[in-house]
Amino acid sequence: MTGTDPRRWFRDARRVIARLPNLRMGRVPDAPALPVRDPWPGDPGRGARLLRGELELAGGVRPLRPGGWGGASGSPLLEAAAHGFTWLRDLRALGTDAARLRARALVADWVNAPPSEPIAHRPDVVGARIAAWLGHYDFFAATADDAFRQRLMARLVSDARGLSAALPAEELDARALTALKGLIAAAVALPEHAGFLTRALRFLPQEIVRQVLPDGCHAERSPAAQLAALQDLTEIRALLQASQTQPPAALTGAIERMAPALRVMRHGDGGLALFNGGREETSSLIDMALTQAGRSSRGPSALPDGGFQRLQAGRSVLIVDCGAPPPPGVDRYAHAGTLSMELSVGRDRMIVNCGAVPAGGPEWRDATRATAAHSTLVIADVNSSELKPDGLGRRPVLVEAQRQEANGAHWLEASHDGWKKLFGAVHRRRLYVAESGEDIRGEDAVEAATPQPFTLRFHLHPEVNANLQQDGEAVLLRLRSGGGWRLRADGARMTLEESVYLGGQEPRRTEQVVLTGYADGPQQVKWAISKVG
């Protein structure tokens, strides 16, 4: 075993042994002993695309039809989604006989000739697949012939045994929770395999402690990961309750902390802010996740461990990323967006980050992860964190934030040293939100021994209509609801340029206000966003 991690060697050996037929496997049940329910809604539009042979997810599309499992997309996220079968909920949402038959055909195709790609057998993908097959068993399998159901149940048992042997999962991020959820689902549906539950409960508490920060923020520092992890944990709790198993205290505590933390990351329209690979998601799904979590409580104004600050006054909500990037192992979707901000007024988003296409091509993923794709300052067109395919390289080490509130007004001062090694520079951002929420002011400064070229960007939501005023010192912003706002700045040249918004279902063209520092001017820009009329 020279040069090999012993833990990985033993894990791989267990998985090989688990897949070998043996006498202990016993009789394969004819059907799940207890029903397992997928509590989350599907998208009938995506279901219709699946009938046309296309799987669409997070900005990517992959062919998916019977006999076509080998048609790899090149996107690991899409491949994992295809083999994870979570899309069965979309066919179910479509609800037609054609959707039921397509679901059955795709499952049968996979079961009869399991793909050899390693990603199809990764613990989180296996966990997602087990949970999806069991969660939609009544939809695609209950009325199928005996031979199909027998093959399906045999595969479920085999997958669950392999998954049990593979724990603890090597993935350090939220994918490990999905793996545990699948094994617990198998334990509920196959109670004769009591070892599945014992093994899952052995690793669940330590996984929760590692992934959920004391303030309830997920370690990936992504609103999307926050939502997904909360969904997995509430499903796990429901599964344990269905099997009359007392949930571990760590699970109950994590859910109680994560739900309020998720509220910090919501805009006035009910959707999520766009940080670290996040997309808006539907407000109804977020509402459902919070309802499933239970004990509804108002979200805090800040997440001291996760680093997000929420400044809310009047109808305005300003959300700022004031935390250090997630550490190696949980930074696969992390962006170079330290100190970026988003602003919404009522149900209208005004200032946004560009969003993400985690299932898109490498060039799109890199572009959306770049500092320039965020509403913050960038020095010399160099990202504040170094982007790598599997996470971040160089990154801010010291990220500080101080906040004050008085009479309904908010002050926030934050800084990061992401360019310290390269340029000896620190970015300092000061923000003020008046009690009315109709006067927002900021100051962005570069603290360095020698002047640095810098640019400050405010990406606008596609529904915002922007007009640069003739003097070039202000931009008039008209929101979808008709409200008018003015963004003005001092200390930089103001331009209105093209941008792209990837936070919703489809990419949309939009604009950005760009403030470019003067080469011989001060290393700071003062700006203000105020309501007009």
pLDDT tens-digit profile, the chain (533 residues): 445 555 554 445 444 444 544 434 457 788 898 889 999 999 999 999 999 999 988 778 889 988 877 656 668 889 999 999 999 999 999 999 999 999 999 999 999 999 888 999 999 999 999 999 999 999 999 999 999 999 999 999 999 999 999 988 776 677 899 999 999 999 999 988 889 999 999 999 999 999 999 999 999 999 999 999 999 999 999 999 999 999 999 999 999 999 999 999 999 999 999 999 888 988 999 999 999 998 767 789 999 999 999 999 999 999 999 999 999 989 988 999 999 999 999 999 999 999 998 777 778 888 999 999 999 999 999 999 999 988 999 999 999 999 999 999 999 999 999 999 999 999 999 999 999 999 999 999 999 999 999 999 999 999 999 999 988 889 999 999 988 999 999 999 999 999 999 998 889 999 999 999 987 778 999 999 999 97
In a domain, 288, yes or no: no
What's the pLDDT score for residue 291?
95
Instruction: Please indicate, yes or no, whether residues 195 and 312 belong to a single structural domain of this protein.
Output: no
What's the pLDDT score for residue 5?
55
- Residue 140's CB is within 10 A of a number of other CB atoms, namely 25
Instruction: Please indicate, yes or no, whether residues 367 and 510 belong to a single structural domain of this protein.
Output: yes
Q: Rounded CA gap, 391 and 389, in Å?
A: 6
What's the pLDDT score for residue 168?
83
Residue 170, CA atoms < 13 Å, CB-side half-sphere:
12
Take residue 44 and report the two structure tokens written for it: 């009938």
In a domain, 398, yes or no: yes
Return the SS3 of 194. helix
In a domain, 490, yes or no: yes
In a domain, 460, yes or no: yes
> Where do the H-state alpha helices sit in 190-336?
194-211, 223-242, 249-264, 283-293
**AA letter at 114:** P
CATH number of the structural domain spanning residue 492: 2.70.98.70
Instruction: Please indicate, yes or no, whether residues 339 and 454 belong to a single structural domain of this protein.
Output: yes
Q: Rounded CA gap, 326 and 224, in Å?
A: 14
Return the SS3 of 125. helix
Single pTM value for the model: 0.92
Instruction: Please indicate, yes or no, whether residues 326 and 441 belong to a single structural domain of this protein.
Output: yes
Which domain-ending residue is among 181, 200, 219?
200
What's the pLDDT score for residue 73?
60
Residue 314, CA distances (Å) to 165, 408, 480 in order: 53, 9, 18
Strand pairing of 454-460 and 465-468? unpaired
In a domain, 405, yes or no: yes
Structural domain total, the chain: 2
In a domain, 357, yes or no: yes
Q: Rounded CA gap, 413 and 390, in Å?
A: 31
What's the pLDDT score for residue 13?
44
In a domain, 504, yes or no: yes
In a domain, 495, yes or no: yes
Instruction: Please indicate, yes or no, whether residues 363 and 511 belong to a single structural domain of this protein.
Output: yes
Which domain-ending residue is among 169, 200, 231?
200
Instruction: Please indicate, yes or no, whether residues 481 and 354 belong to a single structural domain of this protein.
Output: yes
Nearest to 201 by CA among 181, 227, 226, 219: 181
What's the pLDDT score for residue 246?
94
Which residues neighbour 494 within 8 Å (Cβ) at sequence distance 6 or greater? 468, 472, 473, 474, 475, 513, 514, 515
Edge-to-edge strands, sheet with 524-532: 399-406, 409-416, 426-433, 439-447, 524-532, 484-490, 474-478, 465-468
Nearest to 442 by CA among 459, 458, 464: 458
Take residue 435 and report the two structure tokens written for it: 């009690």
Per the CB < 8 A criterion, the answer to whether 172 and 330 are in contact is: yes
What's the pLDDT score for residue 14?
47
Which domain-ending residue is among 185, 200, 215?
200
Per the CB < 8 A criterion, the answer to whether 357 and 502 are in contact is: yes
Q: Rounded CA gap, 121 and 230, in Å?
A: 24
CA quadruple 366, 211, 84, 355: dihedral positive or negative?
A: negative
Range of the domain at 72: 30-200
Instruction: Please indicate, yes or no, whether residues 43 and 175 belong to a single structural domain of this protein.
Output: yes
